[in-house]
Amino acid sequence: MSESKKMKIGFITLSCAYNYGAVLQAYATQKFLSQKGGYDTILVDYVTERYQIDDKDFVYKSTVRWRKNVLTRLLWKFTKHKNELLCRDFFRSFVEEHIPKTKVYYSNEELKEDLPDCDAFISGSDQIWNTDFSWDKQPDYPFFLDFVPDDRKKIAYSSSFGEVHMSTEVKQKVKKLLERYDAIAVRETSGKTLVEDMGLSAKVVLDPTMLCDRAVWDELAAGRLLEQDYVLLFQINPNKELLHFAEEFARSQKMRLVILSANPAHKKDLGRKAIYLPKVEGWLSYFKYASYVLTDSFHACVFSVQFERQFAPVVDRRNTKRISSVLGLLGLKNRIVEVNDLHALPGVLKSAINYDDVKQKLKELQKDSGEWLLNKLEKD
């Protein structure tokens, strides 16, 4: 291994978010860079304002407006605060155990004052450039590597704008931030179009969870948790009509319906029989051994593909672009079901996927995306 391959890489992403996809894409980034690239890789542990929960005062640390609104704080305390802490600590424990990381940073200023000791920095993956995630709808500057000095390499890998439509003012700010990058790769074709509209170039690449070989996920996943065959339902945004269709389909197949949720607050929608916050390793196992998967989650689609499951993603305006983009690359766009056309679900689920073709496409995409990233890191 050359000396250059021993450089230290810092990557920043939405690892503080309370969901399986967020922590698993961070895990995948670290795994790929260390295993395939041979780099010393560390997560820049930035907690964005949206997730800065104070254990005692029930406030977001950096939000002045929040601190002044006593009524909102009390309402939060008695309705959502306990659940937020539960989810935060649950997903945080996985990051602490599995991903080497820096100290915690809470602002762009903190990062500038105490810059992590890295030779190059990567932003991505996930929706780090989605300005809807910021309270003020402005760019979250650390996710654009604003804290990184000009003499350090800056690369965006599989970064996403989500479904957001930026104002002209915000787009100008984003353009100035992106102009400092040495190379930009995005997760969706819509992101590529947006970057190119700013006069910059971008490449569409795989999400890190797809960049890693299946062996990475087989190793992390728990063993089989249920002996009987089952239909798996995983929703980010609970939809009772989809739940009803999932129940009917499971009955028609004489299988158990397994419902997973990353949020215990969804009990009123999903019921007490759902499995709330299964361990990350267990969550993966449920996908690995499912006979069928129904979901509205991008990363649930990813792991359905990785484990070669029969699945159907249900989309609406919130998730259409990111799901259709990746499934289009794999020739699986015909699996997508619109939320207002749920009657199509049984036919899609029973239509077998030719995973020989999918695996070949995925292998080519992994090679293309992986080589792009490693080449950009090595390029002077």
Q: Is residue 372 part of a domain?
A: no
The stretch 220-239 carries a mean pLDDT of 96
312 falls within a domain: yes
Domain boundary among 212, 227, 251: 212
- The arithmetic mean of pLDDT across residues 194-212, rounded, is 96
Minimal CA–CA distance to 203: which of 330, 376, 30?
Answer: 376
Are 291 and 231 contacting, i.e. CB atoms less than 8 angstroms apart? yes
Q: Cα separation of 12 and 142, whole Å?
A: 8
Do the domain assignments include residue 380? Answer: no
CATH number reported for the structural domain that contains residue 149 in this entry: 3.40.50
- pLDDT higher for 48 or 285? 285
CA 8 from chain center: how many Å? 23
Residues of the chain above pLDDT 90, percent: 72
Evaluate if residue 316 carries a pLDDT over 90: no
In total, how many domains does the chain have? 2
What pLDDT was estimated at residue 54?
Answer: 60
| Residue 180: strand, helix, or coil | coil
The answer to whether position 376 is within a domain reads no
Residue listed under structure tokens 């450089």: 7
131 and 14, same structural domain? yes
DSSP state of 135: T
Do residue 242 and residue 300 come from a single domain?
yes
Task: Give the span between the Cα atoms of 95 and 331, in whole angstroms.
Answer: 33
| pLDDT score for 343 | 93
Task: Find where tokens 């959502």 sit.
Answer: 80
Q: By the 8 A CB rule, do 165 and 174 touch?
A: no
Domain match, 246 and 174 both: no
Residues 35 and 17 in one domain: yes
User: Residue 250 half-sphere exposure, CB side, CA atoms within 13 Å?
Assistant: 20
**Which pLDDT belongs to residue 206?**
96
Res 59: pLDDT: 44
Structural domain includes residue 100: yes
Q: What's the CA gap between 141 and 122, in Å, rounded?
A: 14
Give tens-digit pLDDT for 257-291.
Answer: 999 999 888 888 888 889 999 999 999 999 999 99
Do residues 157 and 41 touch, judged by C-beta distance below 8 A?
no
Domain match, 253 and 201 both: no
> Do 4 and 378 contact (CB within 8 A), yes or no?
yes
**Same domain for 164 and 19:** yes
CATH number at residue 227: 3.40.50.2000
Say whether both 192 and 309 belong to one domain. no
pLDDT at 3 over 90: no
More confident residue, 82 or 19: 19
Mean pLDDT of 156-169: 88
CA-nearest of 40, 33, 29, 61 to 125 is 29
Give the domain-ending residue among 183, 212, 241: 212
Which one-letter DSSP state was computed for residue 252?
Answer: H
- 125: amino acid identity, one letter: S
Same domain, 255 and 108: no
Give the residue among 164, 184, 294 at the shortest CA–CA distance from 242.
294
Helix or strand or coil: residue 313? strand
pLDDT at 77: 54
pLDDT tens-place string over residues 127-146: 999 988 777 788 999 999 99
Give the model confidence (pLDDT) of 55-73 as tens digits.
Answer: 544 444 445 455 556 565 5
Q: For residue 80, what pLDDT is reported? A: 60
Q: What is the pLDDT of residue 136?
A: 79
pLDDT exceeds cutoff 90 at 226: yes
What's residue 134's pLDDT?
79
Q: Are residues 248 and 143 in the same domain?
A: no
* H-helix or E-strand spanning residue 315: strand 310-315
CA distance 264 to 261: 7
Tell me if 198 sits within 8 A of 129, measured CB to CB: no
| pLDDT value of position 50 | 75
Is 375 part of any domain? no
Domain end: 192, 212, 232, which one?
212
Please compute the mean of the pLDDT values over residues 121-127 and round it to a whole number. 92
Taking only the tens place, the pLDDT of each residue in 212-222 is: 999 999 999 99
Q: How confident is the model at residue 28 (pLDDT cuts 50, 70, 90)?
A: very high
The answer to whether residue 90 sits within a structural domain is: yes
16 has a pLDDT exceeding 70: yes
Residues 109 and 74 in one domain: yes
**Separation between Cα atoms, residue 318 and residue 297, nearest integer Å:** 10
pLDDT at residue 116 greater than cutoff 60 = yes
pLDDT of residue 72: 55
pLDDT at 163 over 90: no
Q: Has residue 52 got a pLDDT over 90?
A: no
Residue with tokens 């991505």: 124
Q: Specify whether 23 is located in the same domain as 162.
A: yes
Quick check: is 365 in a domain? no
My answer on whether 316 and 244 are in the same domain is: yes
- 177 neighbors 141 (Cβ within 8 angstroms): yes
Residue 98: exposure state from Cβ atoms within 10 A (0-12, 13-18, ≥19): middle
Average pLDDT of the segment spanning 209-231: 97
Range 181-188 average pLDDT: 96
Q: pTM of the full predicted structure?
A: 0.91
Residue 171: give the domain boundaries: 3-212
